[in-house]
Structure 1
Amino acid sequence: MEMIELDGTEGGGQLLRSALTLSLCTGIGFSMSNIRGRRRRPGLMRQHLTAVNAAASVGQAQVHGAALGATGLRFEPGTVRGGDYHFATGSAGSATLVLQTVLPALWQATLPSTLQLEGGTHNPLAPSADFIAESYLPALAQMGVQTTFALQQHGFYPAGGGRFEVQVKPCAALQPCALETRGMPLSVEAGVLMSGLSGSIGLRELQVLADRLGVDAHPRHVQSLRPAIGPGNVAQVRVRHGAQVEVFTGHGERGISAEQVGARLADEVQQYLDGGACVGEHLSDQLLLPMALAGGGAFTTHVISDHLTSNARLIEKFLPVEFEWEQADAGWRVEVHG
């Protein structure tokens, strides 16, 4: 089996997850050293180990060295099988990141799949379940990927307890797509999720978003979740236009006021609105790999993140593709060449 040697010092968990995905999709094995080497707690945490085990399960892979805290592992993929799978992080670790690890392999399988995932659904530094359902999966649908997504229970850090189901149909070949223009502006909407905390916090966040972005501050946009599995507070803004829905998320945390949460989120949304790019920073990071698997594609984004550039370098080790990014009126135009 062809094997690739990888150094995970600079890339964090994303580098490992992308390597797992690409290994399953190409049949090329890899060994990775210094996993999350520059993080405060290096090595595999529970959500990373869940992603490794999920990849091994769907791809009948042989894995050597995977354990909590491990800073190196070897992954030898087998044949990807569609079917019914259940993966749980066993913590508040992000279940959406586990989904993104195995999803590309499963749409290449010959049989449909149903995934039940448990863990965090709305985590800092991870795509929210709403982002997956409303931004990420619709973008994949433009490439021919057919999925359904059902959120069954919200899960916040540190309690976890979230659940969702994803159904995936086989996709023989992805179609290259271009996400370069926004289309007609439709709406900017805000909502706040509260779990085990006073709804007044959400109203204060919503008011900041209303003052800054002009969204509707009616209390009906603050949703108190029942039953409350641990405390949680998430503010979200949806920007809808003809070609794309962008979901932006802010997380409440101890020591940070509701007004600060709202202001940070408003700043992120305003930066996107002020530019002309079609795709936000986080979606741009996550489009690179499926576009590479499609053998082509393009999008505009307002910023080239470190995640995007490190992911591009990794993808080029597994696939015969090249990436180009150049400054444009919209910010940056990124193109994938097969």
Structure 2
Amino acid sequence: MAAVPTIELDGSSGEGGGQILRSALTLSMITGQPFRIRHIRANRPKPGLMRQHLMAVRAAAAVCRADVTHAEVGSTELTFMPRAIQGGVYEFAIGTAGSTTLVLQTLLPALLYADVPSVVRISGGTHNPKAPPAHFIDRAYLRLLQAMGAQVEFELKRFGFYPNGGGELCAAVWPCPGLRQLELVERGALRAAHAEAYVAALPLAIAQRELECVRKALGWSDDTLQPHPLSNDQGPGNALLVTLESEHVTEVFSAVGEKRVRAEAVAGGAILAAQRYLASGAAVGEHLGDQLMLPLALAGGGRYTVDHVSAHAITNAEVIAQFLPVTVTFEAGEQRSVCTISRVSE
């Protein structure tokens, strides 16, 4: 039997971040195709594997019993040779405040192809800058995966903020006979909207100031604004979540508090993203659009409108096309773009 050729990837291409590696890990597990990636995270201030990227590699290797070379912090290249995906019970500790959700998103699509159900527990950061918060996974990402036929249960057990971490999430994933394609051109009528601000080991006034910014900017009533003090041992930390539940899709826009950044500035980021999305008329926002692409490619096709096509999305499309017989196209409109995933004719 002929050996499966190794896919060669350049980690410096496009936006040059960790998503190239994470998408490659997911697709390698599912397709059985080994890959070699060089120049990992070459466009970042600290190139190479960080702890959260290394945990994604180790977690993927555990799930499919892969052979891996150069899996160490700071490594700028890596070879990954997968075997069959094994369902089961897995626990992974990042050991820092590295993103648990990015590790979970690496594993979750692959575990849909396992032989038996799986339970995954991951500890680390649950609400990080530049990563989807746990609530986004639960409300936005999983709603669309479930619409495609996946059965996943998710629980945020404990918040974890930068720099202390200590958070924990858990997901139960059942094997899926096949993901369904999805057409998501319109979001449908808005059914509910609310904002939550969480604080741990910080004054509740921070949450209240963030929510006041939401009230003023979006014109929401007080009963849609929810401050949540968490136990001190989950902090210090702060996160603002703006949730928009529409007929066909739920979006979550978030911002995470940082040292020496005013509550009003933190809130401004989430508010601006929500306003852009609402004005665009798109079905999904930038980040959900990035993450919807891979499941649709596994389903063999689909289409959705997105408020902004990022360099991240274009790079992800290029990686997907290396592993799967699909093409991803983006058609720009005045306020929204259309992303179409199509199977390549043999």
Q: TM-score, normalised by structure 1?
A: 0.97
CA distance in 2, matches of 1:13, 1:321: 22
**Quick one: percent identity of the two aligned structures?**
46
Partner of 1:260: 265
1:70 to 57, 68, 75: 75
Q: Indicate which of 225, 228, 236 corresponds to 1:231.
A: 236
Deviation per CA, 1:238-263, whole angstroms, max 9, x where unpaired?
11111111000011111211111122
Distance 1:130 1:265 in 2: 14
- Which residue of the partner structure matches residue 8 of structure 1? 11
Q: For residue 227 of structure 2, what is the aligned residue in structure 1?
A: 222
Match runs of 1:160-171 below 5 Å: 160-171=165-176
Shift of 1:215: 2.3
Distance 1:190 1:139 in 2: 21
Q: Is the 8 A contact 2:201 2:233 kept in 1?
A: yes
| Aligned-pair CA distance for 1:188 | 2.2
Partner Cα separation in structure 1 for residue 90 and residue 286 of structure 2: 30
DSSP 3-state at the match of 1:166: strand
Does residue 135 of the first structure (1) align with residue 140 of the second (2)? yes
Task: Find 2:110's aligned residue among 97, 100, 105.
Answer: 105
AA aligned opposite 1:45: M
Query: Does 1:31 pair with 2:36?
Result: yes
Unpaired runs of 5+ residues, structure 1, are none
CA distance in 2, matches of 1:324, 1:33: 26
C-alpha distance in structure 2 between counterparts of 1:254 and 1:128, whole Å:
18
2:312 paired residue number = 307
Q: Any conservation in 2 of the 1:80–1:109 contact (CA below 8 Å)?
A: yes
CA contact (8 A) 1:276 1:329 kept: no
Specify the code of the residue in structure 1 equivalent to 2:336. Answer: G
Q: Distance in 1 between matches of 2:318 and 2:103?
A: 21
Q: CA deviation at 1:303?
A: 0.8
Determine which of 49, 54, 71 is the counterpart of 2:54. Answer: 49
Decide which moves more: 26-35 or 222-231.
Answer: 222-231
Q: Is the 8 A contact 1:60 1:78 kept in 2?
A: yes
Partner residue, 2:213: 208
User: 1:208-234: CA deviations, max 9, x gaps?
Assistant: 110001223469711011143331010
Matches within 5 A, 1:78-227: 78-217=83-222, 221-227=226-232
Kindly indicate whether the alpha-carbon contact (under 8 Å) linking 1:8 and 1:35 is maintained by their aligned counterparts in 2.
yes
Runs of 4+ in structure 1 off by over 6 angstroms are: none
Which aligned pairs between 1:308-327 and structure 2 lie closer than 5 A?
Answer: 308-327=313-332
- Structure 2: any 5+ residue segments left out of the alignment? none
Paired residues, number: 338
TM-score by length of 2: 0.95
CA contact (8 A) 1:301 1:331 kept: yes
Amino acid at match of 1:118: S
Q: CA RMSD in A?
A: 1.3
Letter in 2 for 1:21: T
Taking the aligned partners of 1:327 and 1:69, their CA distance within structure 2 comes to 38
Give CA-to-partner distance per residue, 1:164-196, whole Å, 9 cap, x none. 110000001111011111111123211100011
- Counterpart-to-counterpart distance in 2, 1:254 and 1:99: 27
Contact 2:194/2:225 (<8 A) preserved: no
Provide the rounded CA distance (Å) in 2 between the counterparts of 1:216 and 1:59.
49
Query: Structure 1 CA distance, aligned partners of 2:296 and 2:225?
Result: 38
Deviations 1:56-75 (A, max 9, x none): 00011000111011111110
Work out whether residues 190 and 215 of structure 1, in 8 Å CA contact, stay in contact via their aligned partners in 2. no
Residues of 1 paired with 2:270 and 2:189: CA distance?
A: 23
